[in-house]
Chain A
């Protein structure tokens, strides 16, 4: 075994050990397993929520997006802070509603808000279907990182299998508490490595940041701005930023609910939303590396491997190994949170198992099944990382009107209107993703959301019209009888 392989394997095992440390004895209660008994403080909740920002996409997709689309990649910077701007106000409200009623999932919240089990089931199914590609993305990313640093595809596949067997094991043992303990390690290591790599790469290859951008300005000025209406043009940039911000603002990703529900109080959430936008600025580091990759490797380089490829040319093997471990943790930790989200949704809201004990057992079985399925997909059908992430956001963002209406209109909207809008939005997203050409490369999620809201509005207008005519008819018949 090479030095890189030894360090990488050691890192995978270390993450798993930290995950097991999360609990002294195995979990046996679904609420404790899913939301950690709702007792997490500022630091833990912070790291769990920041996990959404820093995933394998940070190490692979972000720098890769610069190589593919230049400045259009900057859309990944403002959407999270814009989402937190809304979450600062609605996060505490979601927390209180969930606390009072014992919600564990996003679908629980929707089911209760609209008094509709059908909506709960639909939200649960959507969550499971759209989170599975996100889980697969993390697994594929992990394999790709190991493959790139070792130069061996077989090692990449084996590392995926070993890492995810260990993720399943610690998730089954300690649930969200395990995710929390590994999140501390993940964020610390990731930030250190991002700083080391993203500062030394420009200095080593070009003599500093300024030289990188001077070269780009002189030779490829089109990469410094967002322009045009083609892919990576202004409509693409704005629509992707909007759909991603809406996703964060209304917590449309179901696996982001446990970190919110696990907070000790609503004040904990408010404190985090104040400062998390600053933390998000670290995403600028891999973006800069993307420009270095364009200057050194050219615009035809493999986009997703840019950061690791450059690191491989300048660092000793043990540093590459530690960098790989940092990348691996950005896959393992969010995957653990995803598994908790997917399995709880499936057992509570899709299969609707009544007994709490049986619900917990089913959740554990689903963790294993979901991982096996995603692992298989990752090995057989790996896809380009950034596009998968956008598909997940686009599909799940169709739940945003339902969540927003539950918070702001207090159940005044009919559940039929909400379901009709959701169905219409999903049909549009799926159609544009697989068959139809997108006008001006606009995000399919935004088009779907527009249709979704329009359908809800039309249904509500029809409902109001029917209600009014029924009221008039009954008034007339009362008058005739009188």
Chain B
């Protein structure tokens, strides 16, 4: 059985770059469209204010579309499940080892494991 550290189906840098570019599209759209009179002017588009269409589309539909693409092309979904299982194991270990009433402040190994 593979472990998160030995799992070869990790996300490559190239894939991360593609995801970052995709994610930047709605962000840039949301912050730039207001400066362009064609999208932000005193006129209507299909009966509604133009800016309403262009804030609605990048803001909602585009974000869902992009996240769906990312979710469907992720090679590391199995690894995400592994990380969840490890978090669960660690929680159980902490619970059984708990002497006081609440956990003390400690370094978090989960961060290192996610690398």
Contact = CB atoms under 8 A, between A and B. Distances in A.
Q: Do A and B come from one complex?
A: yes
A278 interface: yes
Given A82-B26, A99-B91, A266-B83, A284 B56 contact: yes
Contacts of A356: 101-102
Contacts of B30: 78, 82, 241, 245
Interface stretch (A269-277, A306-314, A426-434, A461-469): A269-277
Interface string B22-55: 0100110011001100001111100111111001
A75 B83 CA distance: 36
A85 B67 contact: yes
A97 interface: yes
Given A96-B83, A214-B44, A224-B42, A354 B100 contact: yes
Of listed B23, B67, B81, B110, residue having the most chain A CB within 10 A: B67
Contacts of A88: 67, 70
Interface residues on A, range: 35 or more
A257 interface: no
Interface in B56-105: 56, 58-61, 63-64, 66-68, 70-71, 80-81, 83-84, 86-88, 90-91, 94-95, 100-103, 105
A356 B84 CA distance: 26
B106 interface: yes
Interface string A251-284: 0000000000000011100100111011011001
A112 interface: yes
A101 B63 contact: no
A274 B44 CA distance: 30
Contact of B84 (A120, A217, A266): A266
Nearest to A279: B60
B21 interface: no
Interface residues of B, number: 55
A381 interface: no
A284 B49 CA distance: 12
Interface residues of B: mostly helix, strand, loop or mixed?
helix
A238 B52 contact: no
A410 interface: yes
Given A217-B43, A277-B59, A356-B102, A93 B108 contact: no
B64 A77 contact: no
Contacts of A387: none
Contacts of A71: 40, 49, 51-52
Given A213-B47, A280-B59, A356-B102, 4 more contacts: A101-B106, A112-B105, A277-B59, A348-B102
Interface of A: 71, 74-75, 77-82, 84-85, 88, 92-93, 95-97, 99-102, 111-113, 115-117, 120, 209-210, 213-214, 217, 221-222, 224-227, 234, 237-238, 241-242, 245, 265-267, 270, 273-275, 277-278, 280-281, 284, 287, 348, 354-356, 359, 410-411
Interface of B: 23, 26-27, 30-31, 34-35, 40-44, 47-52, 55-56, 58-61, 63-64, 66-68, 70-71, 80-81, 83-84, 86-88, 90-91, 94-95, 100-103, 105-112, 114
